[in-house]
Amino acid sequence: MNFEPKIVGFCCNWCSYRGADLAGTARMKCSPNVRIIRVMCSGRVEPTFITKAFELGADGVLVLGCHAGDCHYVEGNYKTMRRMPLLKKMLGQLGIEDERVRLDWVSASEGDRFVSIVDDMTAKVRALGPFKNNSKEAKHG
Amino acid sequence: MKKITIDPITRLEGHGKIEIFLNDAGEVENSYFQVPELRGFEKFSEGRLAEDMPQITQRICGVCPEAHHMASTKALDDLFHVDPPSPAKKLRELFYMAFYVTDHTTHFYILAGPDFIMGPESPVAERNILGVIAKVGLELGGAVINARMQNHHIIHMLGGRAVHPVFGLPGGISKGLNEEERKEVEQIAKDSVEFAKLSLKVFDDIVLKNKEYLDMVLSDAYTHRTYYMGLVDEKNRVNFYDGKVRVVDPDGKEFAKYAPREYLDHVAEHVEPWSYMKFPYLKKIGWKGFVDGKDSGVFRSTPLSRLNAADGMATPLAQAEYERFYSTLGGKPVHQTLATHWARLVEILYAAERLLELSRDPEITSPNIRTIPTATPDEGVGIVEAPRGTLTHHYITDEKGIIKKANLIVATVNNAAAVNMSVKKAAMALIKPGKKITEGLLNRIEMAWRPYDLCLACATHTLSGQAPMEVVIYNSKGEVVERLGQHLRP
Amino acid sequence: MAEKKAAKKNDAEPKIGVYVCDCGSNIAGTIDVPQVVDFAKGLNRVAVAREYKFMCSDPGQNMIKDDIKNLKLNRVVVASCSPLLHEPTFRHAVQEAGLNPYLFEMANIREHCSWTTEDHGEATAKAKALVSAAVKRVYHHQPLEAREVPVNANTLIVGGGIAGIQAALEIADAEHKVYLVEKDPSIGGHMIQFDKTFPTLDCSACILTPKMTSAGSHPYIELMTYSEVEEISGFIGNFKAKIRKKARFVDESKCNGCGVCIEKCPWKAPSEFDLGLSQRKAIYTPFAQAVPNIPVIDKESCAYFLKGKCRACEKFCEREAIDFEQQDKIVEVEVGNIIITTGYDPFDPTPITKYGYGRLPNVYTGLEFERICNAVGPTGGKIVLKDGSEPKSIAIIHCVGSRDENYHRYCSRVCCMYALKYSHLIKEKIKADVYQMYIDMRCFGKGYEEFYERLSKEGVTFIRGKPAEVTDRAISEEEKGKLIVVGEDTLLGTIVRVPVDMVILCIALEARADAKNVAQLFSISQGADGFFIERHPKLDPVATMTEGVFIAGCCQGPKDIPDTVAQASAAATRVLALISKGRVELEAAVAVIDEEKCSGCRICNLLCPYNAIDFIEEDEVSRINEALCKGCGTCVAACPSAAITHKHFTTEEIMAEIEGVLV
Amino acid sequence: MAKLKLALYWASSCGGCEIAQLQIGDKLLKLAEVADIVFWPVAIDVKYKDVEAMPEKSIDVCLFNGAIRTSEQEHMAKMLREKSKVLIAYGACAYGGGIPGLGNMFNRELIFERAYVETPSTDNKEKVFPQTKYKVPEGELTIPEFYDTVKTLGQTVDVDYVVPGCPPEEKTTWLALEALIEGKLPPKGTVITHNAKAVCDDCPRKRDVKKVKKFYRTFEIIPEPEICLLEQGLLCAGIATRGGCGAPCPQANMPCTGCYGPVDGVIDQGAHFLSAVASVIDSNDPEEIQRIIAGIHDPVGTFYRYSLPDSLLRRAKIK
């Protein structure tokens, strides 16, 4: 049976979530693999959300914010821009492939961009296969 | 031979284990010294920052973290090609001398002492520090506790923490001494010298003046002719903090003398499938199994070894003791394992004297305690004498100073093979067909490895804690005849 | 462990109702709704789960209200469209049933699911995940009380064009103070530059100047021309604005606008108002009917500022209003609402070299032509060529910079109409041939189509097709000395070469060059085209994402005067509504610091864009000013002690949601 | 009143916790008055079979240190849980996995390969590895199984309290013992320290707002003595670490490394430490941000020094 990845998506309320809505309003089709969680700002997305998602069985995590300079909260997305690369560097040390975590920017008017990012990420994670780090093997710790 | 089923449960006491097998005649057939744990520091050091190693590797052992902290810090000096300012080196050594006094004191009075002071066959209930104090008197008891606490205070003061210090850096240390602190140290050093003298007197009175003990010390059951290893200064005198590693053969002749960077030409480690601990041996001779003598690569690395491997001590009082030590025991080298206890006391005296010298050094309160490294790091080896033997840390890094490879040959491990042999020999000598195995007799076997002051936390950089050890004796049918444990007594 | 704690916090044990909307066939057409309902029934703490065709309808809302009453629900989940659409609707509904509106959560199974997913199975599976996420999340929801703050009755309007003037007057007439800020020396904006206005052809100045004057003299309007907003702080109902009044070097309190200074000034510079087609003095008012009628000295062209001597104006000013020492002034005002009416920039056609603007004489932009036609313009209203002669033929090229992949994809909406207006003005003044070169004629407004018909009867030639180039390279006698407009007539399917004397480019309206700064200053957003984004394209056209900040006119997108005025009035009405209510509810989902946990590490201090976080030295903890907090949660994500809680977006709630989407 | 029955045990640890317990020095005697130590392999000669023979919950309190790396340790944890009324995770290893927990960046195979084959001093061409069961002429020898993953005590059995630290400072140990002696134990789940706030609250260094343009390594600079180390670009874990230790490391001019574990409510110490540090990077330019981050060479070893097994991910994914 072919593998369908589960991807957790975090969208900011003002740009990317609206971009995602617009994709729907415009009836654009995109992979159902990304399930969106709404936060007010991508700056709210703390690294624990991402590690938690993996702990709970996600195969990938997508974080979408406003384009640089467009943040509804002036520069919340810059904080995200600082946190994600460091987090990804650390996840890399823990053997988590780069493509499993993606930070990107989608404005309220970019439904098409939202779709292409979602489809692209889904394809890449599908190619990587399921995320497992065996941390839960009962006996062997 | 009947299959002995040893599910983990039957061996859950402590972390080290010796199994003795008897033959049909009831004589000792063989014995095995096992270490049942591994933590894998050599592996998970990979990817760490070199400068974090003094704090990471000391978690190998919470009993002697100071030794690992020092060996690691010295490896970093070598790795970053940086020479610490002389005050920094002196402060490191001062710190290390204080550590020696506490550590040796703990072992002699709390671990080994009771066997002699109370007698090998005295009741277990009395064979501990409290019994010792009761016998030697509160004054000495107080002195013991005081010596440990005071010198721990020095460790805390410089290292930043009581256990697991933090002050070691490539090119120096993070914290120095001010004048008040120096005065404190000087006073502690004076007290420690007095304490060391007192301890030697105790050993004199109780052991050396007791024929029975002396015979036991000199008896064949506790004797092995092996190679001896120890760190020496440029004058071939015992040094704990710095110098070259010297190896003498069973006849006391210099067999090798090498700088830290050359350790791989001289030492190799053998792996047995029945223990997580490896067995080091002299590479140039090779691994010949658990046998002693000139043709076997087995060597020992203990206080006794250090005295055997050196030509003398660097401080006057200790030198005098050193000479008395050999004249009493019939010349160099001394092969009697039990003499290690005396050697340890000589080392306490040296450490205390050296501590006093350093505390009076004009440079010791200098703020000039760091040189910032500028060269590109590549490879470094650091060696110190840990109380339990020669301790080697070896790191290879990338140009940023990220550990690519780490290798550790840890104090106690050096003696793994010797311990195995000592136990077997003592057991063979003491366990006789039909002879009832008493607790006292078992304690005499226990005394065969206690001199090594086994620290199994160190043992496999890997294993946990000061070693409580379990001995299991099986008869030829594989049934458990007897078991006993060695424990650190508070 | 943290999660266990959260569960305890809920006083009453959660009792959740789940309502899945068919949205006609919008959802039910793709998602197996009954299946989702059954799934929901099986979820922890779900007391009831129902399907309904339109949850947002009254019956739908009543269904929820009844269940809350009868089944004692204390948490509600609606799975339907985007929360951005109907969250307020349902929050209101649960509130009416006596439940705190924050004990509600929405699952977006339409925009994010049924509309974007083809496969019905996949869509249904995803819908289940989104529902379980909402259910797990709502379990942790806590009741929140929205805080109310008074609304300052003063209003700040930025931009003194027709939109700003209109909005200002409406609010001022209701006797509420307005600060009208304009960066130029006079209000009036682009409209005052126009000659006539389509389709009615009444004179732009004639209809605008009365409004300008009343704005200038209105007791409730404080005009701040030659001024710019530099800093905005605060929040809806309670903004503080720092405004820079640029030095005019003329004392407004003394000047009576007699104009002697201008008359005596020996120095000239190109007139901004006439787009450089004429000259103005170094001390000047942009145009005759300027409001306020107080001149400014342009440092760049004033001899005194350049060479240190002259001061002619000073000598002749009887009221001693000239003040060379004058400095910029920073004025601070407190307002409750802000309307942004910063207008547009005319597109600069120079880059479209094929049309020869700036290269070939007698190629003009529409705005330039407005000035040329204007009686008080550079040519005194005469339509003449550079050499002073009268053009025999004029080509008007549409969609320059609009509907063009390389520049702006959008339609500027006004060009067709003003192009028609030009033909009329030309025909009226001189009897030249006029060619309209268009892509499509768009005459959608009231009276526009009629205007188009009327014009087509005035002998104007319409050529459908976007011209390829305007050149002066003649290939025949009759083309000699002319501008030749080359293009295809797509109706006839033939290449045409039209020799004319003058070419008018109908340039696009584009977002102001500084729109980005303005957007950041007022924390509103821009679309891809650079114009400001309204809160909802249909249902909330003048509000923005930022409470208390409204937009009107061309800063929101190209539009004609009637639409601009309508928007301005709309914005004014929104503001008046807030003023008359007198108070406003603030975001309840803000961040709070638990001072029992804050170690005073000060990581968060600089992260807040609203400076809402203070470090309290004596207590060695950081504290958040809830009124300033806008609830973005950036500080929450940064706190290494987890001492900051983001109300309604707590870590427990989001973690639960993560768990939910991963079922 | 009857004396407390006290048990102390270690698993995968270094013995530093035992030393820390001995550190309370003369207070040991006070302890001896009210408590009988019924099991302490390191110090007292009580055999395993005696413990096994004890009835359930017959031990009042067990202080358990060390992480769980082998089958033996796992078994022992389960047994002591069963025998003890109160089980206390003592020290960083039992609490968060500690330094040995860094082993979770690898697995058994990689660790064995390095320890028994690859190390330059090891001579083992035949690739002999320790065997859980091995036949020797005289019989069979066994050693416990070495697991792929280090677990915390809490991930192995139910834990009642935590005494954090590597090792716990003397005063922290005594705080817990006092609570025991006086029967004033806090609510279950409490991490017992003198300060529930982060180390910054203990630290005498002066703190200002944070902006970091460059991260330094400890050997690269000599920090100002009075000022917050993080502000000087040193990755001090104090911000993300529970206090109560008194901040000894920053006072020795070295950054805190996080041994007291997270503050209450923090689910993942390393992730929070990371997020805080990244947040104060003083740049909004992606390239510059990358350059600044390049100065953090070992995120896992820095942010999860003592808590990798207790993190949400627990271990590395080995391909």
Q: How far apart are CA B347 and CA B337, in angstroms?
A: 16
pLDDT in tens, C266-288: 999 999 999 999 999 999 999 99
Q: How far apart are CA D96 and CA D90, in angstroms?
A: 10
Q: How far apart are CA C456 and CA C168, in angstroms?
A: 39
Q: If you average pLDDT over residues C559-574, what whole number do you get? A: 97
Q: How far apart are CA A66 and CA A54, in angstroms?
A: 24
Q: Do both D127 and D53 map to the same domain?
A: no
D72, part of any domain: yes
Contact exists between D and B (3 or more beta carbon pairs < 8 Å)? yes
D45, part of any domain: yes
Residues of B in contact with D302 (CB under 8 A): 49
Residues of D in contact with A89 (CB under 8 A): 293, 296, 299
The full length of chain B comes to 490
pLDDT in tens, B421-467: 998 898 888 888 877 777 677 777 778 877 887 654 444 333 333 34
- How many helices, marked H, and strands, marked E, lie in chain C? 18, 34
What confidence category does residue D38 fall into, taking pLDDT thresholds of 50, 70 and 90? Answer: confident
Chain C contact present for A78, CB below 8 A: no
Residues of D in contact with B51 (CB under 8 A): 217-219
Q: Quick check: D77 and D68 in contact, CB under 8 A?
A: yes
Q: If you average pLDDT over residues D226-235, what whole number do you get? A: 97
The count of domains in chain D is 3
Q: How far apart are CA C169 and CA C215, in angstroms?
A: 6
Least Cα distance to D204 among D167, D256, D259, D281 occurs for D256
Q: How far apart are CA C356 and CA C491, in angstroms?
A: 25
Q: How far apart are CA D244 and CA C640, in angstroms?
A: 16
Give the strand pairing for C196-197 and C202-203.
antiparallel
Q: What is the chain D residue with the closest CA to C613?
A: D209
Q: Do both D94 and D111 map to the same domain?
A: no
Return the higher-pLDDT residue of A2 and B189.
Answer: B189
CATH number, domain containing residue D11: 3.40.50.700
The full length of chain D comes to 319
Q: How far apart are CA D113 and CA C416, in angstroms?
A: 79
D37, part of any domain: yes
Q: What is the mean pLDDT of chain B?
A: 87
Q: What is the mean pLDDT of chain C?
A: 94
The full length of chain A comes to 141
Helical (H) or strand (E) element with C584: strand C583-586
Chain A nearest-CA distance from D26, in A, is: 39
- HSE-up of residue C29 (Cα within 13 Å, Cβ side): 10
What confidence category does residue D42 fall into, taking pLDDT thresholds of 50, 70 and 90? Answer: low
What is the model's pLDDT at position C4? 38
Q: Do both D87 and D203 map to the same domain?
A: no
What confidence category does residue C263 fall into, taking pLDDT thresholds of 50, 70 and 90? Answer: very high
Least Cα distance to C236 among C514, C523, C568 occurs for C523
Examine the pLDDT at C384 and tell me if it is beyond 60: yes
A55 contacts D313? CB cut-off 8 A: yes
User: Which residues are C486's β-sheet partners?
Assistant: C469, C497
Tokens of C128: 């289940």
The region of weakest confidence among B413-427, C642-656, D296-310 is B413-427
D313, part of any domain: no
Q: Do both D176 and D60 map to the same domain?
A: yes
The region of weakest confidence among B373-377, B426-430, C468-472 is B426-430
The full length of chain C comes to 663
A49 contacts C658? CB cut-off 8 A: yes
Q: Do both D134 and D280 map to the same domain?
A: no
The region of weakest confidence among B123-127, B302-306, B307-311, D84-88 is B123-127
D241, part of any domain: yes
Residues of D in contact with A46 (CB under 8 A): 271-272, 275
Q: What angle do CA C473, C476, C479 make, to 5 degrees?
A: 60
pLDDT in tens, C498-551: 999 999 999 999 999 999 999 989 988 888 899 998 987 788 899 987 889 999
D318, part of any domain: no
The region of weakest confidence among B40-44, B438-442, C115-119 is B438-442
Return the higher-pLDDT residue of B413 and C503.
Answer: C503
B287 contacts D42? CB cut-off 8 A: no
Examine the pLDDT at D26 and tell me if it is beyond 90: no
Q: What is the chain D residue with the closest CA to C622?
A: D209
Longest dimension (CA), chain D: 70
Contact exists between C and B (3 or more beta carbon pairs < 8 Å)? no
Q: Do both D166 and D291 map to the same domain?
A: no
Q: Do both D43 and D158 map to the same domain?
A: yes
Return the higher-pLDDT residue of C9 and C405.
Answer: C405
Chain D nearest-CA distance from B257, in A, is: 17
Q: What is the chain C residue with the closest CA to D265?
A: C2
What confidence category does residue A139 fall into, taking pLDDT thresholds of 50, 70 and 90? Answer: very low
Domain extent for D118: 103-145
- Long-range residue pairs from C467-472, CB within 8 A, at least 24 positions apart, any chain: C467/C355, C467/C395, C467/C397, C467/C437, C468/C354, C469/C354, C469/C355, C469/C356, C470/C354, C470/C355, C470/C356, C470/C360, C470/C363, C470/C395, C470/C397, C470/C503, C471/C356, C471/C360, C472/C356, C472/C360
What is the model's pLDDT at position B483? 58
Q: Do both D123 and D157 map to the same domain?
A: no
What is the model's pLDDT at position A135? 63
Write down which chains contact chain C via at least 3 CB pairs under 8 A.
A, D
What is the model's pLDDT at position B490? 27
What is the model's pLDDT at position C10? 46
pLDDT in tens, B124-150: 667 666 677 777 777 888 888 889 889
D30, part of any domain: yes
Q: Do both D212 and D279 map to the same domain?
A: yes
A93 contacts D298? CB cut-off 8 A: yes
Examine the pLDDT at B15 and tell me if it is beyond 70: no
What is the model's pLDDT at position B142? 83
Q: Do both D79 and D176 map to the same domain?
A: yes
Chain A contact present for C607, CB below 8 A: yes
Q: Do both D174 and D132 map to the same domain?
A: no
pLDDT in tens, D103-160: 999 999 999 999 999 999 999 999 999 999 998 888 888 888 999 999 999 999 999 9
What confidence category does residue A12 fall into, taking pLDDT thresholds of 50, 70 and 90? Answer: very high
pLDDT in tens, D189-211: 999 999 999 999 999 999 999 99
Q: If you average pLDDT over residues A87-97, what whole number do you get? A: 97
Q: How far apart are CA B44 and CA B41, in angstroms?
A: 5
Residues of D in contact with A98 (CB under 8 A): none
D194, part of any domain: no
pLDDT in tens, C79-106: 999 999 999 999 999 999 999 999 999 9
What is the model's pLDDT at position B484? 56
Q: Do both D82 and D110 map to the same domain?
A: no
Q: If you average pLDDT over residues D4-10, what whole number do you get? A: 89
